[in-house]
Structure 1
Amino acid sequence: MPCHFYILFSETKNRFYIGATCDHLDQRVRRHNANHKKGFTGHQNDWMIVYSEAFPSKQQAFDREREVKGWKSRKKIIDLISSQN
């Protein structure tokens, strides 16, 4: 099973969440939306996938997560999401 780097967006928070997983992506998003009051995503339940990339290994997916988190730039994240469309 491939691993994924993904970006979620919450309309309520108007924020992005950047992550990586080797679970099924839809299941992971359901867990983000079900974790009420826990962690960054836990206070909202409207997170939706706005971008994802598949990788053959866990290490590659998590490396991509670290790379994008290192940008610390909302504009660069929006540009990345826009490039997928």
Structure 2
Amino acid sequence: MHTYYVYILTNQYNTVLYVGVTNNLERRVMEHKAGAQAGFTKQYKLTKLVYFETSPSVQDAIAREKQLKAGSRAKKLALVSELNPIWKDLLADY
């Protein structure tokens, strides 16, 4: 059985948020940190993992990702602040 992750990235100033989904959180965040793909996360230097949650199915993970993306910025900020109040990079050692 696989685990799927819904995650939130930000930049060093915590000004831009990105919500994504993956089946390998460490690999995917490392791709973001390396700027491996052109696009939104590379353009805004979104390399700081500040939140993630797990899901047992890809369908549930995608549904949660859509729910978070549809929510307000304030809701995303509150979610991160509740579980990661100092906005620490959860993969800072990598």
* TM, length-normalised to structure 1: 0.83
Match of 1:15 in 2: 16
Q: CA RMSD in A?
A: 2.0
Give the strand-richer structure, 1 or 2: 1
Aligned-residue sequence identity (percent) comes to 36
- Cα displacement string for residues 6-47 of structure 1 (whole angstroms, at most 9, x for unaligned residues): 001112572111000112x11101111223571101235451
Q: In the alignment, which residue of structure 2 is the partner of 1:74?
A: 73
Dislocated runs of 4+, deviation >4 Å: none
Unaligned runs of 5+ in 1: none
Change (3 A) 1:48 1:57: same
Assess, with a 3 A threshold, how the Cα gap between structure 1 residues 46 and 66 changes in structure 2: closer, same or farther: closer
Q: How many residues align?
A: 83
Q: What is the match of residue 6 of structure 2?
A: 5
